[in-house]
Structure 1
Amino acid sequence: MKKITVSDLKKMTSAELVNQDVLKRRAISGVSTDSRAVKKNDLFFALKGEEFDAHDFIDSVVKAEAVAIVVHREWAKNNDKYFRTFPCLFVIVNDTTIAFGELARIYRRKFDIPVIAIGGSNGKTTTKEMVNAVLRTKYNVLSTEGNLNNHIGVPQTLFRLTSKHDVAVVEIGTNHFGELKYLCSIAEPTHGLITNIGKEHLEFFGDEDGVAREELELFNYLNSHRAVAFVNSDDRYLKAGAARLKKQVIYGIFSNADIRAKKVQVDERGQSAFEITWQKKKFLLKVKLRVPGMHNVTNALAASAVGLQLRVKPKKIAKALKDFSSASKRMEVLTNDGITILNDTYNSNPDSVIVALKTLSSFTTIGKKIVVLGDMRELGDASKREHTNIGVIVSEMKFDHLFTFGPFSKYTSEAFGVSAKHFESKEELAMELKKILKRGDVVLVKGSRGMKMEDVVNQLIVANGQSTMKDKH
């Protein structure tokens, strides 16, 4: 990593340094928030949450030879004589979490490179991975690991920047008003895209208008800093929100966009082939995806738009998208004993469930199409209504079976009708599911993160790769 200096540390709000001469002898080589993973010469932030306090592990951090530790002022006051004897620099601040973000911003400013922020209600991680895959064909890219997209994850990503990186792709997420504005102030993106606006975290945002207000903070930041926004013009909220943008690249399938997908064809496994046109260069690019679902055409368009803007060759874009495969639990296609499992268990909300159902519907199969759903969480007062609505949609789409788990998913089963089955445990659900599955069947499994519906998937496929299901033909 690039050098973090005493001057950098002093820039954090109300920072007081104790034993600062330590940095004359030892340089900071990394930044950590996990006391179990601290390495020699790391800078450690003692973060404090509702259920944990890293200050309790200061002794082990010192033993691991951290060069510097950032602590709360209250802790320092209560342990004044104790910590001053340690052979490392202590930085005393009012709030270590806020200081963590402040230093991440200070560190990010050491790099004059494109920083691309990716937000949105659904598909952030898949789009981020597609953008990463496209840009990697030309650049050394730093990308968010997994979905570390909050006020802790974004700084962690930025602290991984080194002089070898040409571009950073940073996922940003939110479930409360004000979070995206804060994350933008830390990452200071030069480019950004919002995948879509949907019914996410309605418990906190109220409705889609509230979601849009929060997600569009990314566009607000980009506009105020004359940075480039990539706009999905098929989304009515994003199209409206982009009207005032000074710098924008527009992509879409159904609208008149700068970068557009045409002649989309879907095969028997839900995989799409299509052509991308770019008005600016008047060229045509043919793309074939391995990942299923029409939503991934839009995700691929977003990645193409970023790649073209950053001058990646079209042929390299096409190859990167062709070779792209889904991340774990994100519309991950698993096959076992002739049965196809769509493992979309990472998270769930009403819009992402509908997208998943459409993806299942796009599969051509000789067997049954089965839907397994867990609760969609954080919907607040809309929970009963939205779960009921999903049951109606599943019924209208004529799927063969619906299995549900979770207190709110009971409304989904009731709306589907008498042939749906609701379970009080995932073990019972999986056991019943195995009884009806045969070769040629396709089963979709989905639910919010807290429901851990991957447990159902894991019970269908044992560790040695052999199915627990018997062939019933």
Structure 2
Amino acid sequence: MIEIPVRYLEGITGARPWTGNADRVCKGVVIDSRAVETDSIFVAFSGERVDGNDFAPAAIEAGAACVVLTREPSRELIRTADAHECAVFTCEDPTEFLLLLAQGYRARMHCTVIGVTGSIGKTTTKDTLAALLSTRYRVHVTRGNYNNLIGMPLTILSAPRDTEVMVLEMGMDGFGQIERLSRCAQPTYAVITKIGTSHIGLLGSRENIARAKAEILVGMPPSSENFEGHHAALVLNGEDDFTPFIIENFAKPAGIDVILCGTSDDDDVSARNIEVGEDGCPVFDITFEDGAQFKTRLAVTGAQSVVNALYAAAIARRLGIAQYTIHEVFGALEITGRRTEVRRAACGARVIDDSYNAAPESMAAALNLLAELPCAGDRIAVLGEMGELGEEGARLHELTGAYAAAKRPDVLVCVGGDNARHMADAARLMGMADDAVRVVPTTEAAIARLAHAIAPEDLVLVKGSRFVGLDRFVEEVC
């Protein structure tokens, strides 16, 4: 983690000092006063319900070396800080404070940074990269959902000083956010997994989503430069319809080389002969830029996971990971939970737990998996509403319902309000029988109606946005 004397904080972040021992060394950064340890930096954030500034005294008492506030400290707080030799700073924007501090720490570490963004597949790609690169390097990686303007700098600031590679997931819900993340992280390699419809309600169009994701290039050096022993590269999906747009409008002007991954002859890293086994895991032939080729198996369910594995393999090869190591790691992958994870229900049925989140593209991929896996009983799709689709919400839920009908599940359960009804109506319109399609308002209603009706031979897909809470359905039946 970061270790920095108080004296350097003002120069790096622009924060205003009020008091403190300039020679005291700060160790680590937290934004929750309950997480303060001896010598921590506590950064106060003001939320709708809780004002972090109010917890500065508790942070000082807990041993913080520095507290960073967004309002002028009281005389009483200054006295308390002086009594504990704790520095006090103020700043206008605590998010910018974190970003600048993390940027300074990253610059001193001289490690290789890989940034991962995109509408879907970020976490699978990140986890695969971390697994591959950990076979050779000391790797620090984004945990959980620490991928935003607060979480990503905290990830950097928690990295051990001897980290050799950082794999950082970068999320966003508006323009300018990934640019700020990229300037902070200064990635040498970047991946844009896919330009989908997640956040279309906030950004208005897929083109705007592509522009926002392409901001990841802002902090990258041109590929012509030798940056800490590497030449920068952007990894893209060769079959994504916005890949040419990103190349022509962003990668080329920035002078950054592109690596294409996909299933065509034109891709630099490609997968062929993809077959999904009875366990849902794909087997395929992988071919690299240099012509190297081998057959491998991915221990992650669904054909849609293959391209995410290709992104990771493309960068791993650039960083010297051998073919046999890639093959071994692919076969033993463990991905962050609730993403197409096949579990066993208490009654014996198989449950495809993809309840972490949902977008139209990932809904389609999950429905493909439901249709592909062998099943002696009924195929049941439990689909929750999807968020952040804005004015496109009704249309995209209708398209999802129509796609579900095309995959011919025996039962479709739509969970939620108006958008759940849009899904159900479209499924019926496209040929599903009325009695095969059900709409329930909540996860609890889905549990009451379906949990005890699942048979041992059934195959159940559970997928929806996080606010629907379908993870509770999975926990109830498994």
Q: Quote the Cα distance in structure 2 between the aligned partners of 1:239 and 1:311.
A: 28
2:114 alignment partner, SS class: strand
Other-structure match for 2:238: 233
Other-structure match for 2:72: 75
Q: Quote the Cα distance in structure 2 between the aligned partners of 1:119 and 1:153.
A: 14
Q: Does 1:50 align with 2:60?
A: no
Q: Quote the Cα distance in structure 1 between the aligned partners of 2:7 and 2:58.
A: 27
Q: Quote the Cα distance in structure 2 between the aligned partners of 1:11 and 1:255.
A: 51
In structure 2, list runs of 5 or more residues that go unmatched. Answer: 226-231, 429-433
Other-structure match for 1:372: 382
Identify the match of residue 290 of structure 1 among 299, 307, 310. 299
2:108 alignment partner, SS class: coil
Q: State how 1:453-464 maps to structure 2 within 5 Å.
A: 453-461=470-478
Q: CA deviation at 1:223?
A: 6.2
Q: Quote the Cα distance in structure 2 between the aligned partners of 1:255 and 1:374.
A: 37
1:97 alignment partner, SS class: helix
Q: Does 1:121 align with 2:116?
A: no
Q: State how 1:192-211 maps to structure 2 within 5 Å.
A: 192-211=190-209
Q: CA deviation at 1:50?
A: 3.0
In structure 1, list runs of 5 or more residues that go unmatched. Answer: 462-473
Cα contact 1:223–1:247 (8 A) shared by 2: no
Q: Quote the Cα distance in structure 2 between the aligned partners of 1:412 and 1:85.
A: 58
2:342 alignment partner, SS class: strand
Other-structure match for 2:326: 317
Q: Cα RMSD over matched residues?
A: 1.7
Q: CA deviation at 1:348?
A: 0.9
Q: Quote the Cα distance in structure 2 between the aligned partners of 1:15 and 1:220.
A: 25
CA deviation map 1:30-51 (0-9, x unaligned) = 1111111110111111122333
Q: CA deviation at 1:127?
A: 0.8
Q: CA deviation at 1:164?
A: 2.3
1:55 alignment partner, SS class: helix
Q: Quote the Cα distance in structure 1 between the aligned partners of 2:77 and 2:134.
A: 48
Q: Quote the Cα distance in structure 2 between the aligned partners of 1:190 and 1:152.
A: 21
Q: Does 1:443 align with 2:452?
A: no
Cα contact 2:174–2:203 (8 A) shared by 1: yes
Q: State how 1:257-406 maps to structure 2 within 5 Å.
A: 257-280=267-290, 282-336=291-345, 337-406=347-416
Amino acid at match of 1:273: V
Q: CA deviation at 1:325?
A: 2.5
CA deviation map 1:239-295 (0-9, x unaligned) = 431242532222211351121112212212321111111132x22122101211111
Q: CA deviation at 1:71?
A: 1.1
1:216 alignment partner, SS class: helix
Q: Quote the Cα distance in structure 2 between the aligned partners of 1:149 and 1:305.
A: 22
Cα contact 1:120–1:196 (8 A) shared by 2: yes
Q: State how 1:245-256 maps to structure 2 within 5 Å.
A: 245-256=255-266
Amino acid at match of 2:72: W
Other-structure match for 1:409: 420
Q: Quote the Cα distance in structure 1 between the aligned partners of 2:265 and 2:11.
A: 47
Q: CA deviation at 1:176?
A: 0.9
Cα contact 1:8–1:106 (8 A) shared by 2: no
1:28 alignment partner, SS class: strand
Q: Quote the Cα distance in structure 2 between the aligned partners of 1:432 and 1:414.
A: 19
1:83 alignment partner, SS class: helix
Paired residues in the alignment total: 455
Q: Quote the Cα distance in structure 2 between the aligned partners of 1:392 and 1:251.
A: 29
Q: Quote the Cα distance in structure 2 between the aligned partners of 1:104 and 1:221.
A: 14
Q: Cα distance 1:255–1:178, how it changes in 2: closer, same or farther (>3 A)? A: farther
Cα contact 1:32–1:44 (8 A) shared by 2: yes
Q: CA deviation at 1:84?
A: 4.2
CA deviation map 1:333-354 (0-9, x unaligned) = 1013431101111111111111
Q: Quote the Cα distance in structure 2 between the aligned partners of 1:132 and 1:348.
A: 23
CA deviation map 1:121-177 (0-9, x unaligned) = 001011100000000111110000012100011011001122221100000001111
Other-structure match for 2:228: none
Tell me the TM-score normalized by structure 2.
0.91
Q: Quote the Cα distance in structure 1 between the aligned partners of 2:341 and 2:72.
A: 46
Q: State how 1:11-22 maps to structure 2 within 5 Å.
A: 11-20=11-20, 22=21
CA deviation map 1:86-134 (0-9, x unaligned) = 2211122222221111111111111111100000000101110000000
Cα contact 2:6–2:66 (8 A) shared by 1: no
Q: CA deviation at 1:60?
A: 1.0
Tell me the TM-score normalized by structure 1.
0.92
Q: CA deviation at 1:459?
A: 1.3
Q: Quote the Cα distance in structure 1 between the aligned partners of 2:265 and 2:444.
A: 45
